């Protein structure tokens, strides 16, 4: 196994149990995937594409029906390694109510580090830093169950951040947040990744969030259909649309202009890139 490999899927398939005699179709089909240490990976796909199943398999919540998954070389199907695997890979789910365990926000965030046996002074520092990172420090003495959905989600993210796991998988973490909350969480994830080297796997429906990743994986019907840099992936308009997804707004507009005869690049991702390319077209006579 490569030294920089953190999570490795080898020909992995998985199906959920059926309530009837008829087996359900495979939720994950023959997946080969290698997530390396320090990467920021965005996983895209419509509902039912297998994104959340992928997250649960990587954290040993589920065990593969066939194939093998290794986390830092540990086999996730070995039940004796579950605790160590979950110390390495933390997961934040879409519904934060499922992850709240304490009656006070700061106690909830401290729960994970306490279970790891971290000394109290270090726990205090981690809790404060994590809550500040997600904009929830002023709510540290509040009751989690009285917070809004978006606030609860940020507390759940802070709880994983405080554990300082080597990898954090976030399953639609910003789905219940307003634009400001989404931006705060994204900045926190980018800081953890770039400054602390934490591996981030972000499952999202938001194309503008995926653009900020190092690598984008697109799933459809339990398979990986695209895997590359955001620029490489979002240049594949036809495959993106077949997977039931849309391009980021700037890329969508650039593709539409290109089809209309404007000499626009096909790999535009951000508003700044769009403006710059369009200005070049205008000044260079590339606009009909």
Q: Is 129 part of any domain?
A: yes
At 135 the pLDDT is 84
Question: Mean pLDDT, to the nearest integer, of 260-281?
Answer: 84
pTM > 0.85: yes or no: yes
Q: Is 17 part of any domain?
A: yes
| pLDDT confidence bin for 40, thresholds 50/70/90 | very high
Q: Is 217 part of any domain?
A: yes
Residue 94 confidence (pLDDT) above 90: no
The CATH number that applies at residue 173 is: 3.40.50.300
Q: Is 279 part of any domain?
A: no
Among 123-137, 233-247, 267-281, the minimum mean pLDDT is found in 267-281
At 1 the pLDDT is 44
217-247 per-position pLDDT tens digit: 999 999 999 999 999 999 888 999 999 998 8
- Helical ranges in the chain per DSSP H: 51-58, 82-88, 105-115, 120-133, 149-163, 179-196, 207-210, 230-234, 237-242, 249-259, 271-284
Residue 221, C-beta contacts closer than 8 angstroms, at least 6 positions apart = 29, 49, 50
30 vs 253, higher pLDDT = 30
Q: Print the domain residue range for 140.
A: 5-229
Q: Is 272 part of any domain?
A: no
Count of H helices and E strands in the chain?
11, 10
Q: Report d(CA 6, CA 210) in Å as an integer.
A: 20
Domain count, the chain: 1
Question: Mean pLDDT, to the nearest integer, of 149-161?
Answer: 87
Q: Is 179 part of any domain?
A: yes
Q: Is 271 part of any domain?
A: no
Q: Is 58 part of any domain?
A: yes
């Amino acid at each position: 196994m490569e030294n920089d490999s953190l999570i490795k899927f080898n020909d992995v398939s998985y199906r959920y149990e059926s309530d009837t005699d008829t087996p359900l179709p495979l939720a994950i089909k023959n997946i080969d995937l290698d997530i390396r240490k320090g990467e920021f990976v965005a996983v895209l796909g419509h509902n039912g594409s297998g994104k959340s199943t992928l997250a649960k398999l990587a954290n040993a919540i589920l065990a593969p029906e066939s194939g093998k998954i290794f986390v830092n070389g540990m086999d996730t199907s070995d039940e004796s390694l579950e605790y160590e695997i979950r110390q390495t890979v933390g997961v934040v789910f879409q519904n934060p109510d499922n992850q709240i365990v304490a009656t006070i926000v700061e106690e909830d965030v401290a729960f994970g580090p306490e279970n790891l046996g971290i000394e109290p002074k270090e726990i205090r520092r981690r809790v404060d830093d994590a809550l500040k990172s997600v904009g929830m420090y002023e709510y540290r003495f509040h009751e989690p169950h009285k917070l809004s959905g978006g606030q609860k989600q940020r507390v759940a993210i802070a709880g994983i951040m405080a554990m300082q796991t080597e990898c954090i998988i976030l399953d639609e973490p910003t789905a219940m947040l307003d634009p400001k909350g989404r931006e705060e969480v994204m900045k926190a994830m980018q800081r953890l990744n770039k400054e602390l080297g934490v591996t981030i796997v972000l499952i999202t429906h938001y194309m503008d969030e995926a653009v900020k990743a190092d690598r984008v994986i697109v799933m459809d019907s339990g398979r990986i259909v695209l895997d590359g840099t955001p620029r490489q992936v979002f240049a594949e308009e036809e495959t993106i649309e077949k997977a039931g997804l849309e391009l980021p707004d700037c890329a969508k507009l650039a593709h539409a202009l290109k089809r209309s005869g404007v000499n626009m690049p096909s790999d535009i991702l951000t508003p700044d890139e769009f403006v710059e390319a369009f200005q070049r077209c205008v000044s260079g006579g590339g606009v009909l």
